Amino acid sequence: MVEVHLDTDVLIDLIERKPLNEIISLMERYDFKISAVVFFEFMVGVYRTGRTYLKPLILNYIEVLPITREIADKSAEIEAELMKRGEPIDARNLMIASTAIVREAMLWTNNLKHFQRLKSYGLKLFNSRV
């Protein structure tokens, strides 16, 4: 099964806009995971809006991947290179992308603008729209 990491925007769209049967069908075809950074961003929204009932939904069905030393190192390597070129990137987006790069997974995002330039570092983007 193909490992697909969900970006925060896709995770929110799946939960808010897709019927349960469609989500289940997708989960039967893809091994969805989220980085700890996506979990953090998602949970900020959950706590801000008081929708804490969503927390177990995520924790019970989608694995949250930690930021390992290897992921932090990959993020630092890419950031240093981008800084030399005068093209820094948001640290959160970089760690989300580096998690997918290190695990050789695809990243499903609707924010292609933020991630396109990381394809040269091995990022594979999942080409679908929620």
Return the CATH fold of 2-125. Answer: Rossmann fold (3.40.50)
- Could you read off the pLDDT of 70-123 as tens digits, one per residue? 999 999 999 999 999 999 999 999 999 999 999 999 999 999 988 999 999 999
- Phi, psi values for residue 31, rounded to 5°: -95, 90
Partner residues linked to 106 by β-bridges: 4, 124
H/E element, 42: helix 36-49
Predicted structure pTM score = 0.92
Tell me if residue 64 falls in helix, strand or coil.
Answer: strand
The alpha-carbon radius of gyration of the chain (Å, integer) is: 15
